[in-house]
Amino acid sequence: MYKVLVSDPISDTGIQALTDHPDFLVEKQTNLTPDQLKSIIGEYDALIVRSQTTVTAEIIQAADRLKVIARAGVGVDNIDIQAATRKGVIVVNAPNGNTIAATEHTLAMMLSLARQIPHAYISMTEGKWDRKTFKGVELFEKTLGVIGTGRIGTEVAKRAKSFEMNILAYDPYLTEEKAQKLGFTKASLDEIAEQADFITVHTPLTKETKGLIDANYLSKTKPGVRIVNCARGGIIDEAALAEAVKSGHVAGAALDVFEHEPLDNETFRHHPNIIVTPHLGASTAEAQEKVAQSVSEEIIDIFTSQNIQHAINVPRMSAEVQQKMKPYLELGDQIAQLVIQLFKKAPDKITVDYYGDLIEEDTGLLTRTLIKGILSYHLSDSVNIINVLQLLKEQGLTYTVQKNASRHGFANYMSLTLHHGSETATIGATVLNGFGGRIVNINDYRIDLIPERYMLSIRHFDVPGMIGRVGSILGENGVNIGNMQVGRKAVGGEAIMMLTVDKPVDNQVIDKLLTLPDLEHVQLVEIKDDETSNHTEEAVH
Ligand SMILES: NC(=O)C1=CN([C@@H]2O[C@H](COP(=O)(O)OP(=O)(O)OC[C@H]3O[C@@H](n4cnc5c(N)ncnc54)[C@H](O)[C@@H]3O)[C@@H](O)[C@H]2O)C=CC1
Ligand SMILES: O=C(O)C(=O)COP(=O)(O)O
């Protein structure tokens, strides 16, 4: 039974799939203090939040069972993603469910600002009939600057066009083609400042967007501009905005989100040209049901079928690609475990090479799987595909990935090399269509081996009778050989023998093998088929 904690208010109908599921126990505890959350989080496998709960590194550190933090909404700036990644916790969000709600709220705010509807309403509640104070402006033929044309920014701009507004759009990822297709004009931030009558921001809050609209930017805006923020508090510098509204340079601002929530800025609450709502962008019945449904399905998928749809800290793969990559992920895990055991030393560098068909594929997850197989030899269970690159960095190791146009003699080929100073160990492997994974190269010895759980690696000289003598010793000691492969570079020279065996081989048997003349080295290798490597195979799509 997996325990799920819901720490912010979410839709009961939306999470029904989770509450009705026999494998999950859902507990709702809202309004927890950070200390309360920290003291109970250790009991839970998954945590569902909205924007109210701040999931700090300290809370994540205390979350020993936690596998998933699910954000029933878009913004994940209330979650310490780095800490989650380090701890191996998957962070997912529900990016599509509240787009329309936030879009419509933005337009409602823009119209309310243009026509001062909230203030007119307040004056009516005070018994007045004031038709002079509340003269507004029209949106018709005005210029709207949209900063951030992702899901919400795009939908806002599309609807603003129906008011016959001119759209100036800025987003580092906005292409000329998309702008043209949607009837927007691609513009720089400065062009928006110079020309826009209304500016609306729709970016996430990041290091880059914090204070994007600051005193300097505001000083460049057109006098009389109106500004809307239904994205995140902090994208607009609140003190600078308050100053600019006070001076009259900015005619008005409509804000749904704030640097500190709940809002503690009295100027914003009471200024005649500023309208505020308490972070209501996503608060529609429809959006709340959709985001709750999305995170519920995601959590069920992660725990039951290991599919992840909207992970923030795991590489994404479509279901189709995931299916296609499955044999490579399995083989990658096996060769990584093999190479680290053969190398024995801690590597200071890892090189991954992909050839043939693999260069066309998204190999991000495969690379993580290879590195995980290496790191888990020393770090065991603490490493998974989510935290692997971070742990690698913390260990001071570097890795390089090369995609090579040649085929290396196979339709697809991957090679993994560990370096320690000038010493190296390399394993090369391929997936044969319909026949599964094969190890085809160990330190430049050509072989053809189906990896198995227990394998014996033997280094010897290529002399007559060696195979028979090794076989006899193993047979006399009850060790059944599944497969035997010999690789040599030159007749009579050094050679390797790789054997798959049905069970672990005792040290006494290994000592007996070592008494054979011309036999240099024997090593038993175990490839673990652990839960995390299974997870790796299917984790992402
Ligand atoms: N008020 C509310 O209740 C709600 C607020 N939001 C917030 O709205 C914002 C937008 O959400 P979505 O459109 O769903 O996200 P999205 O990820 O689809 O779009 C964000 C866009 O911002 C762009 N961007 C990133 N850095 C930028 C920069 N420096 N300058 C210009 N553009 C930049 C990205 O390229 C992307 O296109 C997020 O901050 C989200 O948290 C979302 C839903 C409800
Ligand atoms: O989805 C988002 O980014 C939001 O800001 C919505 O926040 P909420 O879920 O209403 O606390």
Q: Domain residue spans in the chain?
A: 2-96+285-305, 99-276, 317-451, 452-526
What is the predicted pLDDT for the residue at 391?
A: 84
Q: Which range has highest mean pLDDT (221-230, 262-271, 340-349, 363-372)?
A: 221-230
pLDDT tops 90 at residue 322: no
CA of 152 to the centre of ligand 1 (A): 7
Q: What homologous superfamily is domain 317-451 in, according to CATH?
A: D-3-phosphoglycerate dehydrogenase; domain 3 (3.30.1330.90)
Ligand nearest to the CA of 201: 1
Question: Which one, of 114, 65, 58, 61, lies nearest residue 87 by Cα?
Answer: 61
**What span, in angstroms and rounded, lies between the C-alpha atoms of 242 and 503?**
73
**What span, in angstroms and rounded, lies between the C-alpha atoms of 194 and 188?**
10
Architecture of domain 99-276: 3-Layer(aba) Sandwich (3.40)
Does the C-beta of 116 come closer than 6 Å to ligand 2? no
Does the C-beta of 203 come closer than 6 Å to ligand 2? no
The reply to whether 99-276 and 317-451 are identical in fold is no
- What residues are paired with 439 via a beta bridge? 429, 449
For the entire predicted model, the pTM comes to 0.78
**What span, in angstroms and rounded, lies between the C-alpha atoms of 280 and 93?**
18
Question: For 292-363, where are the E strands, in sequence order?
Answer: 349-356
Tokens of 330: 């399995």
Q: Catalytic residue positions? A: 232, 261, 279
CA of 344 to the centre of ligand 1 (A): 47
**What span, in angstroms and rounded, lies between the C-alpha atoms of 50 and 412?**
44
Residue nearest atom 5 of ligand 2, based on CA coordinates: 75
Does the C-beta of 231 come closer than 6 Å to ligand 1? yes
As a whole-number percent, the residues of the chain with pLDDT over 90 amount to 82
What is the predicted pLDDT for the residue at 317?
A: 66
* 54 against 488, higher pLDDT: 54
How is the beta sheet containing 24-28 ordered, strand by strand? 24-28, 2-6, 46-49, 68-71, 90-93
What is the predicted pLDDT for the residue at 380?
A: 64
**What span, in angstroms and rounded, lies between the C-alpha atoms of 488 and 490?**
6
Match domain 2-96+285-305 to its CATH number in 3.30.1330.10, 3.40.50.150, 2.40.50.140, 3.40.50.720: 3.40.50.720
Does the C-beta of 152 come closer than 6 Å to ligand 1? yes
Q: Which atom of ligand 2 is nearest to the CA of 8?
A: 11
Question: Which one, of 385, 298, 305, 315, lies nearest residue 70 by Cα?
Answer: 298
Type of residue found at 266: E
Ligand nearest to the CA of 210: 1
Does the C-beta of 75 come closer than 6 Å to ligand 2? yes
On the CB side of 403, CA atoms within 13 Å amount to: 11
The CATH topology of domain 452-526 is: Alpha-Beta Plaits (3.30.70)
**pLDDT tens string 49-105:** 999 999 999 999 999 999 999 999 999 999 999 899 889 899 999 999 999 999 999
CA of 346 to the centre of ligand 2 (A): 45
What is the predicted pLDDT for the residue at 324?
A: 85
Distances (CA, A) of 300 to 25, 309, 312, 538: 12, 11, 17, 14
**What span, in angstroms and rounded, lies between the C-alpha atoms of 302 and 248?**
52
Does the C-beta of 148 come closer than 6 Å to ligand 1? yes
What is the predicted pLDDT for the residue at 530?
A: 52
Among 107, 171, 200, say which to mutate for ligand 1: greatest number of ligand atoms within 8 Å of CB: 171
What number is the average pLDDT over the span 392-399? 86
